[in-house]
Structure 1
Amino acid sequence: MKYVFLFIFVSLTVLGYGQTTEKWTLQRCVEYALKNNISVKQADVQARLAALQVQQAKYYQIPTLSLGTGVGVQFGRSIDRTTNIYTNTQALYQNIQANSNVTLYNWNRLKNNVNAAQFSAEAALADVEKASNDAALNVATYYLQVLSANEQINISKVQIQQTQTQLDITKKQVEAGALPELNQIELEAQLANDSSNYIAAKTTFQQSVLQLKAVLNLDAATPFEVDTPDVSTIPLESFADLQPEVVYALALNNQPLQKGNAFRLKAAQKNMQVAKAALYPTLGFGISLGTNFYNSFNQIDGYTFNGYAPITGAEPIVKIGSANYYVQNPVFSVTQSKKNFGQLWQGWSNQITNNFGQGLGINLSIPVFNNGQSRIAYQQAKLNIKNTQLQNELADFTLKNNIYTAYTNAVLAAEKFNAGKKSVMSAQKAYDFALKRYEIGMLGTIDLITNQNNLLKAKLQQVANEYDYIFKMKLLEFYKGMGLKL
């Protein structure tokens, strides 16, 4: 059975550590997460959209310009676009126009709209920072869990080695007849239990690694090994430097949620001024340019004189003095032909030049009644300011409560960690004393195993205590604005 346990131990060790990969530090994990985290990417997209809104708001201050033209054929009775006379002639026409308008004054509506968009864009950038901080804090949580699980693996290994050594010694004593075979069986059972604890610790470690990979958005099949720093060298601030009131005062200025909320309040105030400006007149200036072209499908080739004909409804003879004159109309016939495509466009440049017209104008828009839309929008904007203020107060209250809770948890974690040191020392002394008594035959195997298990539990608990203490202290440092580092 000894060789079976050794085989399990060696196999798990080889499987877990046989591959050589570049180790991931906390800094590398955080940097990778910030580049690949979905929430951070979404926040970045929203920030880019907000930046586009700023550009759009600025463009509203620039005069508009539109150019247009239309070409077509008209049939039947219609207006000649060059003479404004009704005609029944089929014709080809084109019109060209250009218009430009600019707002001269609208009670700073456009300016306030730009400011509101800029404050919203600043808030969006703060949201990116918040998403990044949340991702970094999440990574640090799982990273420390991996370190803790890895340390528990190491403790389980030592436990197996100690039990195996005791089993080897006991087996020799049993063979020599110095100890009963029951002692050997009890130690073999303990070795099996230690191996089971090792496998459980290994499983916990692997699960923690998978959770960390998921936070990093890293493929589960990617080789991955964390860098294990010396826990004793991890720098920690003192409690004197992490007093909750001091941390809260600093957090109000450095936490991205609070910075974003401040920008959102300013944006709401500017939006209220934008809505208020819609209640007042707007003065604008416009320029218009236009020209047109018109040409019928038929062209007159010439006239043929066909003689005279009496004027219908008139006396055929008109007497002037003593002479009689016959009153007649000359009769002509018109010769027409269809124009080809090139002929239809003849004279285009002349008509475009001759028909060119310009216009300048000032327009004043006075809101009288639009179903209360502008006034309701103004009231909504004022209520939005109040709602934003309440949200900010709630966020600040939550932040303060979180900081005080984190401080209390850190104090408790420190006390638990210090108490754990004493527990480990006491359990170690008890085990050392029990081992000596066992070696001289004054203590049974069960009692030795009990002391050994007590020591193992104390060590495992102390590992959890230590990493819990480190994390909670790092959380306070994070609120203080010191970032995350090991």
Structure 2
Amino acid sequence: MSQLTIKSLLFLFLGLSCIKGFSQDKTNENIPAVWDLATCLQYARKNNIQLKTLRLTTASTKQDKLLAKSALLPDLYGSASQSFNHYNLNTNGSTNAINSSGAYGLSSAWTLYKGGYLQTDIKQKGLAVQSANYAVLTSENDITLQITQAYLNILVDKESIIYNQDLVKTSIAQLGQTQNRFNAGSAAKKDVAQFQAQLAGDRYNLTAAENAERQDKIALKQLLQLPATNDFDVVKPDTVISDQPIPNLQTVQQYALQNRPEIKNAELGVRISGYDLDKAKSGYLPTLTLGAGIGTSYAHDPTYNAFRQFDNNFYQQAGLTLSVPVFTKRQNKTNVAKAKIEIEQAELALENSKTTLALTTEKAYITAQNSQNQFISAIEQLKYNTEVYRIASQELKIGAVNLVNFYQQRNLYVQAMQSYIQAKYNAALAARIYEFYLGIPIKL
């Protein structure tokens, strides 16, 4: 291979690499590195594959509706046939000839009456479109709750990291103080070893908190279906409201039962099944069809002009066909019976959806109440344990504390801080999930 060819291939490869890199940059340039909750929810509604799939299902049901409407119109088909025959003109086979013939026509059929089946089918397909839209809304609600949970998990991790970082700094300072006292002869080597163990434990907990944040970020990226190579972080709000008033349960349940998409969809299921019954009953009624057609034909004849044949053979026909079901081998009776069963199944599904939603909202109400009460208790617990730990830390500085008592107070403070962080975000999440059933968008 010549040097010129090698250089050409090299430049081509570099050019394609640049184009590919530019394409990737263009793909990711609109994806932010830091996300707030509103951006996460908006992005998921637009890009989530499950939602896209459901929207395609909606588009498919719209096509079914258009097809049902088109069934009211007449159809039109064209037909054409052409044939060629080879045969011998003389009996001795000395002369060959090719003969041709053809036929051409148009035909149409128009269903004038089908027992109300066509109009009923249009109405049913229209409800199917609405049902598909409600399925999209139901999935959006589920994804909204999942993303909110994942987002708040990351916020919990971030606070845990901050507080574990503070514990590490405090442990380093306490180890330094104890080391100085040991050097001065006022502390035992065991005391130094205990603070070294405490520092190692705090660093381990800090690493665990950092790993938890990484894992929760991956979980959120999976929900958003972001590329694995994207830098990703979330915005930590200035304040998280965890003690807002909780709406009345009866008000939330009443609104949810009247407006939630899963209930609307179940109600449509009953109506759709009712149309199935109407369509099944139409099988007992006659069908009236109007048919029409035109056509012509010719056959090769040396003594007769083909165009004259087209004119002489031209025909037109129109007629009505009435089809009356007399005996259908129980098909119509079976269709009606099965349609009635489907109605009962749809009614049971609606009842089950209402019961499930009522219990879900009640559970959300209880969870919100308990979470707020736990948050209030966690505040009090942290308040007193912080003060006791502060006093123990001051006594440690002057060497006036028993290390066993100090570690006991420190552990109580750590547990109280962990409980406070978890309770704060649990209360915020529970309240927003409960309000979500009242139609209030989730915000932090």
Q: Percent identity?
A: 25
Instruction: Quote the residue 1:446 is aligned against.
Output: 404
**1:265 corresponds to 2:270:** yes
- Tell me, yes or no, if the aligned pair for 1:187 and 1:445 is still in contact at 8 Å: no
**1:238 corresponds to 2:215:** no
Give the match's secondary structure for 2:388.
helix
How big is the shift at 1:90? 7.2
**1:250 corresponds to 2:255:** yes
Unaligned runs of 5+ in 2: 1-31, 88-96
Match among 85, 109, 121 for residue 101 of structure 1: 109
- Tell me, yes or no, if the aligned pair for 1:155 and 1:456 is still in contact at 8 Å: no
More helix, by proportion: 2
Letter in 2 for 1:262: E
Instruction: Quote the residue 1:404 is aligned against.
Output: 362
**1:34 corresponds to 2:39:** no
Letter in 1 for 2:292: I
Letter in 1 for 2:386: Q
Give the match's secondary structure for 1:397.
helix
Distance in structure 1 (CA, Å) of the matches to 2:329 and 2:162: 75
**1:24 corresponds to 2:35:** yes
Letter in 1 for 2:290: F
Give the match's secondary structure for 2:427.
helix
Letter in 2 for 1:182: K
**CA RMSD of superposed structures (Å):** 2.0
Once the two structures are overlaid, the 10-residue window that deviates more, 392-401 or 23-32, is 23-32
Distance 1:105 1:379, change over 3 A: same
Give the match's secondary structure for 1:64.
coil
How big is the shift at 1:265? 1.7
Give the match's secondary structure for 1:405.
helix
Letter in 1 for 2:214: Q
Distance in structure 1 (CA, Å) of the matches to 2:409 and 2:171: 12
Distance 1:146 1:61, change over 3 A: same
Tell me the TM-score normalised to structure 1 length.
Answer: 0.79
Once the two structures are overlaid, the 10-residue window that deviates more, 434-443 or 405-414, is 434-443
- Tell me, yes or no, if the aligned pair for 1:286 and 1:362 is still in contact at 8 Å: yes
Give the match's secondary structure for 1:229.
coil
- Tell me, yes or no, if the aligned pair for 1:285 and 1:361 is still in contact at 8 Å: yes
Distance in structure 1 (CA, Å) of the matches to 2:430 and 2:220: 19
- Tell me, yes or no, if the aligned pair for 1:283 and 1:363 is still in contact at 8 Å: yes
User: Equivalences for 1:92-171 in 2 at 5 Å?
Assistant: 92-171=100-179
**1:468 corresponds to 2:426:** yes
Instruction: Quote the residue 2:290 is aligned against.
Output: 285
Instruction: Quote the residue 2:10 is aligned against.
Output: none
Unaligned runs of 5+ in 1: 1-20, 77-88, 301-345
Once the two structures are overlaid, the 10-residue window that deviates more, 129-138 or 172-181, is 172-181
CA deviation digits over 1:163-183, x for unaligned, max 9? 112222332333333433433
Once the two structures are overlaid, the 10-residue window that deviates more, 214-223 or 149-158, is 214-223
How big is the shift at 1:50? 0.9
**1:200 corresponds to 2:208:** yes
- Tell me, yes or no, if the aligned pair for 1:163 and 1:190 is still in contact at 8 Å: yes
- Tell me, yes or no, if the aligned pair for 1:186 and 1:446 is still in contact at 8 Å: no
Distance in structure 1 (CA, Å) of the matches to 2:228 and 2:385: 39
CA deviation digits over 1:355-397, x for unaligned, max 9? 2111121111101112211221122112111110110100110
More strand, by proportion: 1
Distance 1:237 1:295, change over 3 A: farther
How big is the shift at 1:74? 5.1
**1:209 corresponds to 2:223:** no
Letter in 2 for 1:245: Q
- Tell me, yes or no, if the aligned pair for 1:50 and 1:117 is still in contact at 8 Å: yes
Distance in structure 2 (CA, Å) of the matches to 1:465 and 1:367: 70
Q: Of the two, which has the highest radius of gyration?
A: 1
Give the match's secondary structure for 1:285.
strand
Give the match's secondary structure for 1:291.
strand
Instruction: Quote the residue 1:366 is aligned against.
Output: 324
